[in-house]
Amino acid sequence: MINRTLIKDLQSSSDGPVTVSGWVETVRDQKKVQFVVLRDETGAVQLVNPRATDETGAVTATDVSDTISALSQGSFLTARGELKHDERVKLGGVEIKLASLEVASLAIPETPIADDSGIDKRMDWRFLDLRVPKNALVFKIQTTFLHALRTYWVEHDFIEITTPKLMASASESKAELFRVEYFEGSAFLAQSPQFFKQMAQPAGFGKIFEVGPAFRADPSFTSRHATEFTSIDTEFSWIESHEDVMKLHEELMVAGFQAVKDKHGADIEALFGFELTVPTVPFPRIPLAEAKRIVAERGYEVPRADDDMDPEGERQIAAYVKEEFGHDFVFLTDYASSIRPFYHMRNADDAGLTNSYDLIYNGVEISTGAQREHRIEILEQNARDKGLDPEELSGYLDFFRYGVPAHGGFGMGLARVLMLMLGLANLRETTYLFRGPTRLEP
């Protein structure tokens, strides 16, 4: 491995010999001096090469100057030279006077995307798009956010599981399944780890989490849908109600946001132009019926007849919460059993409602959570009420025949959280390689 110094560490390094590696961002090939801005995964630095002259003062060619003259934007190289601190240098207050250059590979001079390229074109050339510091920062933030969540889970004795993504039958809705060939038969790509994370409760794991892919055969072309996405899931036992799930959920979000602000707050301000807010706890909680009444009083009638909240309703209730509570998050609770899965526990006082919630962040739903129904006879009846055949669910229902504690959990889309955290308009920006109804490449 090349013994290189990361560019972010140059400011704290002493003047003297140094080696850096990265890709060429710009070249200024002037008559008497050459400048190269070199960028690596941590920052950018200016390389300087005063052109050599003969005894008459005429410029003469050298290997370094010839190499620089042949460089194209995006070429990868290793540079060796003398590090010098100079506050007059705008780019980090340091520069490197070149001694040698070693080109790893030259780039084609004509770059296929530009700063004003549309998002589809950028996605075609995603590996180039991700060289842009603002775009790369998204995935540094993602790393920090997930690490903070994992740290919270591990410190609270949760077990990490990895569930299968090939399934024999639907996990939730047959309407959104991808069917794939599987030897002599068929299998389905998992829509969520729901059934498997519940299986960990009668197994005695108690508290589990998973971060993994999920697949939805949903032909949506909105800015917040994808056919493959990263799902953040957790499930845990011995809860009293969905309030316990909400408490865990908000604590996880605070841990994640605080870690991001601590590590990347300055970069977010510099590249995205705002100061990240760490939410306070508890998050506001509003029953869905009350939320719809509030939205109606603001002049918007939710048109859905299925007791759900539509996107405009989510935006309106989020605006209300921001005005009244100064908060970016709100739990909408007490969803009707008619629109919730059969495994959501019904409210003890009103069977028409469930012990469930949606978490709305900056006007967009990012998660659904609930207390699960753990009593087998009620589960079977709930399934029948939904028009489902308990025989077809026998593999899942077996989890509940040999003893299981009261439990609950949630699933949350990672890309949506990051999109809303950074004020971006499309989750393609926060997905490493997006998959949608018309995109399978790169």
The phi-psi region of residue 326 (left if phi > 0; otherwise alpha if psi is between -120 and 50; otherwise beta) is: left
Q: Where are the alpha helices (DSSP H) in 82-203?
A: 119-124, 126-129, 133-155, 194-199
340 marked among binding-site residues: no
Q: Are strands 59-60 and 52-53 parallel, antiparallel or unpaired?
A: antiparallel
392 marked ligand binding residue: no
Tokens of 12: 């704290």
Return the bridge partners of 408, or none: 236, 371
CA distance 49 to 99: 8
Question: What does the block give as tokens for 17?
Answer: 């010999």
**Stated length of the chain:** 442
Region of 398 (left: φ > 0; alpha: ψ -120 to 50; beta: rest) is: alpha
User: Quick one: tokens of 160?
Assistant: 């990490």
Tell me the CB-side half-sphere exposure of residue 344, using CA atoms within 13 A: 27
> CA-to-CA distance for 234 and 157, rounded, in angstroms?
12
Residue 415 marked in a binding site = yes
Phi, psi of 366, rounded to the nearest 5 degrees:
-115, -10
Q: Check the annotation: does 408 bind a ligand.
A: no
3 state DSSP class of 428? helix
Annotated ligand binding at 372? The verdict is yes
Residue 368 labeled ligand binder: yes
Q: Cis before residue 390, ω within 30 degrees of 0?
A: no
Neighbour-count burial for 230-245, b at 16+ CB within 10 Å, e otherwise: bbbbbbbbebeebbbb
CB neighbourhood size of 172 (10 A)? 17
**DSSP code of 316?**
H
What residues have CB less than 8 Å from 396, skipping those under 6 apart?
195, 198
Residue 207 in contact with residue 238, Cβ under 8 Å? no
- Please indicate if the annotation marks 170 as binding a ligand: no
Q: Is 414 annotated as a binding residue?
A: yes
3-state secondary structure 276-316: CCCCCCCCCEEEHHHHHHHHHHCCCCCCCCCCCCCHHHHHH
**From CA 16, how far away is CA 39, in angstroms rounded?**
20
Asked if 269 and 241 count as a contact pair (C-beta separation under 8 A), the reply is no
Binding residues: 172, 216, 365, 368, 372, 413-416
Binding residues for ATP: 365, 413-416
Binding residues for L-aspartate: 172, 216, 368, 372
